Amino acid sequence: MAAILTGAFPSGALSLFLLLVLSACGGGPAGPGPDIEPGDGFTIDHTCTDIGQIPPAWIDSAQALLKVHYAHTSHGEQLTVGLERLESSDPYLDVEIGYCELPDAPGALCIFDGQSGETYITPDLYWQGEDGMDLTREVLDGNPDLNVSMWAWCTQCDYYSHAEVQEYLDAMTQFESEYPEVVFVYFTGNAQATGAEGWNRAQRNQQIRDYCEEHDRMLFDFEDLDSWWYDP
């Protein structure tokens, strides 16, 4: 495995890989063995972009144990493309992404990308409303090997109200109660908006951070990563 890969790849992809590895190994400094535990929270942000610091045993555990469901729109595709670039640089970082299906690839980090029959996943297709939640339930019920599920924002935090973001948090909490063996990863939205929309998205993203900190949830802090100029 290459010692340092941060110079060539999007920091978001590196951070996502680190998040998944930590969720397989309990996040401890030694990582003696896999220990995926819903409810054990931590945040992945711009300080988590050096994949060379991850012990190979942790990567092995993530590839062996994790089956990931990832729903997103265009912004979220940065992470899957980044993971594929990591693999291109170092085949040891093997990832297999199935569109609308869960791949079966021993030795690879297997990702179910999208929902059943749909890859561009807006809020109403994952968590917003009972119909949206049912689409997520359909994927989880139909693929019992899945043990991680996550959804990435597009620009909704630019204009969503406190109540609408709370609906997202409530839906994720409901999923956690229904699927206690699945780790649900929370996301903040991207940091591209400025002006009034930028102020609103900062408030809504902080709302998500506060909830995750208070309730010990796993958070992929997309906004934080998006706010830093990456200059290795």
Q: Supply the pLDDT for residue 192.
A: 85
What average pLDDT does the structure give for the chain? 85
Cα–Cα distance for residue pair 131/19, rounded to 1 Å: 29
Q: Is residue 6 part of a domain?
A: no
C-alpha angle 225/38/142, rounded to 5°? 95
Tens digits of per-residue pLDDT, 132-151?
A: 999 999 999 999 999 999 99
What's the rounded mean pLDDT across residues 25-46? 58
Domain hosting 133: range is 11-226
What's the rounded mean pLDDT across residues 157-166? 98
Given a cut of 60, whether residue 191 has pLDDT beyond it is yes
Q: Is residue 66 part of a domain?
A: yes
Q: Is residue 16 part of a domain?
A: yes
Q: Is residue 118 part of a domain?
A: yes
DSSP letters, 56-90, are HHHHHHHHHH-EEEEE--TTTHHHHHHHHHHHHH-
Q: Is residue 183 part of a domain?
A: yes
Q: Is residue 119 part of a domain?
A: yes
Domain count, the chain: 1
What's the rounded mean pLDDT across residues 83-112? 94
Q: What CATH number does residue 92 fall under?
A: 3.40.50
Q: Is residue 2 part of a domain?
A: no
Given a cut of 50, whether residue 116 has pLDDT beyond it is yes
End-to-end CA gap in the chain: 19
Given a cut of 70, whether residue 34 has pLDDT beyond it is no
Q: Is residue 105 part of a domain?
A: yes
Confidence band for 108, pLDDT divided at 50, 70 and 90 = very high
